[in-house]
Amino acid sequence: MNFIEELKWRGMLHTMIPGTDELLEKEKVTAYLGIDPTADSLHIGHLCGVMILRHFQRCGHKPIALVGGATGMIGDPSGKSAERNLLDEATLRHNQEAIKKQLSKFLDFESDAPNRAELVNNYDWMKEFSFLDFARTVGKHITVNYMMAKDSVKKRLNGEARDGLSFTEFTYQLLQGYDFLHLFETKGCKLQMGGSDQWGNMTTGTELIRRTNGGEAYALTCPLITKADGTKFGKTESGNVWLDPRYTSPYKFYQFWLNVSDDDAERYIKIFTSLTREEVDALVAEQKADPGLRPLQKRLAKEVTVMVHSEADYNAAVEASQILFSNKAGELLRNIDEQTLLDIFEGVDKFEIDRADLDGSVNLAVLLTDKAKVFPSKGELRKLAQGNGLSVNKEKVTDINLPATQEMLLNDKYILIQKGKKNYYLLIVK
């Protein structure tokens, strides 16, 4: 596979230094891409970069994932982040291990292949670097004029992005440039890859390498991923979509991809999966023939969920998505985990009840009118039940004098009440 051609057809190539493609054709190249370690999980905003590393390795080259333990402690001046809090070393190491575990689903770190992936942390070579050493080793090679000419710096100085630019943030491009120099000298790394907003920092690195030891280094960027309407990709109302199931359940993760627009699905399936050009073209043709079937979204959601989580998590997410319409809904509800249950019924009205009211002494009529105000009156409840419009945990109930018991509980904590076809209520034992 030709790496540059692969990126081009996938829409993942923005800019590269002339000669990058020739370098990649003539030798096995080592390249790195930086990842911010301020959390112990990646989110889908990181995924484009991770997929670039994956394609790079599949094309026979050697990828290095650089966890920015040092640079992550200060703000990047590209306008997207405020200055960051200093992480202590224990937190940094914990985050690094968690990130490596996630990356190992995409990259081969373990085999004895000559192009196996490596994970490095720039904190390891920056922590003992004194300010005087840095000024002498790095600072003297790059002029302030050169640094001021960068777009990211000019925007901040003109007040277009946030307010001003601290000295700490101004030095960010030197720190990132030194990472490239260090990896060039210690790992033979000749290429840096990243998002297009990093171009200024990346070219500072190639310039530093040239001025320090006359070396030739290269840079390549991917476009920043947006939605078709121009808004930011990867954010939902509740925040980032994380790769760690503790922060975003596999069900919610799957739903995110399933619900993207047709235009976005056609772009994202090229960027976020390893499907071949022929497979993608066939899916695009299928979608055009019958958009209602949404084959692009379904395949995209499957590929990414299996890659990030597992086949079992994908199957569970599909089942959970169909729960509201399935004939076996009652049985499925008993088998899903608490987080997925809450995700499916996010936004429905919730009522608290006492566990003591589930000892059999209280009937459904009292539970759903006096104990939890799901219905305004027992008369309305009786009428609905007689008309087959009442369900408890997706099972039809016609007898409102049925005793309420703990056996009704899902996950030992919830009872799902359905009024008519579309109105759901969740009773929660406190």
Catalytic residues: 38, 43, 46, 80, 84, 176, 197, 232, 235-236
Contacts of 104 (CB under 8 A, 6+ apart): 110
Find, among 427, 420, 306, 308, the residue nearest to 358 by Cα.
427
Backbone angles phi, psi at 420, to 5 degrees: 70, -150
Sign for the pseudo-dihedral over CA of 113, 115, 116, 121: positive
Per-residue burial over 158-170, b if 16 or more Cβ lie within 10 Å, else e, is eeebeeebeeebb
Q: What does the alpha-carbon distance between residue 58 and residue 220 come to, in Å, rounded to a whole number? A: 17
**AA letter at 61:** H
**H-type helices in 227-336, by residue range?**
250-258, 262-271, 277-289, 295-308, 311-321, 329-335
How many other C-beta atoms are found inside a 10 Å radius of the C-beta of residue 246?
A: 9
Sign for the pseudo-dihedral over CA of 407, 413, 419, 421: negative
- State the pairing for strand pair 414-419/390-392: antiparallel
